[in-house]
Amino acid sequence: MNLLSFLIALIGFAVAAPVLGCLIAGLDRRISARLQGRVGPPLLQPYYDLRKLLAKDDATVNRYQGFYVALALALTIFSGAVFFAGGNFLLVIFLLTLSVLFFIIAAYSTRSPYAEIGAAREIIQIMSYEPMLILMAAAFFVATGSFDVSAAFALGRPIIVVLPLIFLGLVFILTIKLRKSPFDLSSSHHAHQELVKGITTEMSGRTLALVELMHWYETVLFLGWVGLFFIWGSWWAAALAVLVVIVIYLLEILIDNTFARVKWQVVLVSSWAVTFVTVAVNLFILRIL
């Protein structure tokens, strides 16, 4: 990854990701509504909500809360730019984790008991999915000989061929990263599951708009991780990757509307079990082959 490719990826991701993320969020709401027997909102309803939030004033008890959220958003954009520029995959994961930590600090800064509970649950989520992400990066290095995302394009076959169980582990923890049931501990986009809004309870106005915008960026980045497993040195690899991404996201919507939220103990234990089983078995198979 050179400076020019990074700057191009930074500008492209900063501009295109929220547009795509907004459309994905709108489609998510539409499909979820149909699964629940409702008509659902317009496709651009997330954009209308964001515009309304931006027009409102912030009502915060800590003036630094918006600053922490802005840092979290900036780090998310930066991590996405590194990923789509073909940079270091491990650096992408670390930057995204740092982004979540600033988001947690923003919630704790309010001293609200509801926001603090949401922040504590967010920490549990990090403990649940972070081992899978780090081990996935390590497995990517084993498969390609490099941590650089661009190394996947030099392969003669997609990484899914040698890391199929790692991919299944990613799909499992993707439900946590996308904040979908049954693993949406800290916050949920379903109104019937929240008396208060978890980690974002004390966030409003422009600060809450930044949070929603950050979620759009995250969604595009996470789906990029899914597509990475189907990218290699072939001209039609991108089409296959996009098709798989669509199927996986539709599966996540189905899961989100099928299962109720579980307790944090289930999230932690199941995530660790899936992580270590899939990673251990997949790496063992790679070694004997």
Both tokens of 22, joined, read 């907004």
pLDDT score of 199: 83
pLDDT score of 148: 92
Read off the pLDDT of residues 5-30 as tens digits, 9 standing for 90 and up.
Answer: 888 999 999 999 999 999 999 999 99
* Residues β-bridged to residue 88: 148
Other beta carbons within 10 Å of 142: 14
Query: How far apart are alpha carbons 278 and 272 in whole angstroms?
Result: 10
Task: Specify whether the CB–CB gap between 160 and 229 falls below 8 A.
Answer: yes
Residues 6+ apart with CB under 8 A from 267: 124, 125, 128, 176, 183, 185
HEC string of 127-155 equals HHHHHHHHHHHHHHHHHHCCCEHHHHHHC
pLDDT score of 197: 66
> Taking each helix axis from N to C terminus, what angle separates 205-228 and 237-256, rounded to the nearest 10 degrees?
130
Closest CA to 96 of 189, 238, 264, 88: 88
The DSSP secondary-structure symbol of 88 reads B
* Residues β-bridged to residue 155: none
Single-letter amino acid, residue 199: I
pLDDT score of 188: 66
pLDDT score of 189: 64
Query: How far apart are alpha carbons 131 and 213 in whole angstroms?
Result: 26
Read off the pLDDT of residues 84-143 as tens digits, 9 standing for 90 and up.
Answer: 999 999 999 999 999 999 999 998 988 888 888 888 999 999 999 999 999 999 999 988
Other beta carbons within 10 Å of 192: 7
Per-residue pLDDT of the chain (289 residues; tens, 9 = 90+): 678 888 899 999 999 999 999 999 999 999 999 988 888 889 999 999 999 988 887 777 778 888 999 999 999 999 999 999 999 999 999 999 999 999 999 989 888 888 888 889 999 999 999 999 999 999 999 888 899 999 988 888 899 999 999 999 999 999 999 988 888 887 766 554 544 567 888 888 888 899 999 999 999 999 999 999 999 888 788 899 999 999 999 999 999 888 888 888 999 999 999 999 999 999 888 877 6
Task: Specify whether the CB–CB gap between 73 and 217 falls below 8 A.
Answer: yes
Residues 6+ apart with CB under 8 A from 89: 83, 137, 140, 147, 148, 149
Helix or strand run (H / E) with residue 272: helix 264-288
